Structure 1
Amino acid sequence: MALQAANGRAVVWATLFLALLLQIMPLPEVVSAARPDWLFIALAYWTMALPHRYSILTAWLMGLLLDILLGATMGVRALALALVIYVVALHFQRLRNFPVWQQAILLAVLSGVYHLVIFWIQFVTSKSLFDPIILLPVVSNLIIWSWAYWLLRRIRRDFKVR
């Protein structure tokens, strides 16, 4: 029983680290701006599925690791991810009962909040200018969510993650 629980945790952490790798993977300049927020998508799924195990602290740690890997200001993405995952954790029971297309819309809105929080912190610290292109990942998250939801749910069921 303990081995099975440990196996489930390893599967979740493996998906989170795969999402982290997809997040930092170099892409051509043309599609780089519309890169989905793989880490946010994976964290949102696991927070909805297992909120008692993967929630705000996990989001903060993964965001901090993402800041380190991107060479960004320390804690910016950690704060933004923790904030939006807090909202997901707060409403996980409602989100679970919505159809996947409604979940996609709500997570796209939260993804927009995530990007606007990152922009706001960067604006305060370094006076960067707003470019609407920073919201392109919101559209790609909206499109990717149903596929990612299906894939992560299948992984969860195949590996009996509880």
Structure 2
Amino acid sequence: MSSPFSAEAQDSLRTEKLADIHIQFELPLAWSSASIKQTKSESTIYTYTRKLGEKKKASHATLSVLVEHIKPSTSIREYSTKGLQFFQKQNGFKIKKTFIDTDGRFTLPYTIGYDAEYMDAQGQKHHLYIIHTIEFNHGAQVLIDFPYDQYFLYEEEQNQLMRSLRYER
């Protein structure tokens, strides 16, 4: 599969592989290396950050991937509904658009995505992509979180990142 990033941007990319769910994606070098955390429920959380803006006024974007074991009978709809429960409790949470793999935003089968926004504890508005996918007995929740005032500056990078998500075969 060819890269969704431009030829110039490809020189500054690295491929990240999440072995426990066999997902890989391309990430610009401006993002940190993964911080990996195992939870008590045997889930794994991969977290990447990207510094945005000038030193004095810098903010951060976050890419997080939660990989967890699920029952083989779990449908993508059930998994996604459960995954959204946390976000629905957030201040100002609103889903602006829902999309699936046939919409062209990503190519992962059995996937649902949401274009959303919320307010953090400091009152700062955020833009959030929430992507739920299942593969065999694993589910993954991918979150791409940008401060709202920075979202539009990095919108194409976020779209390219989503299009680069794929299963390793």
More strand per residue: 1 or 2? 2
Question: Under TM normalisation by the shorter chain, which class is it?
Answer: 0.3 to 0.5
Q: Which has the higher contact order (CA 8 A, sep 6+)?
A: 1
More helix per residue: 1 or 2? 1
Instruction: Give the TM-score normalised by the residue count of structure 1.
Output: 0.36
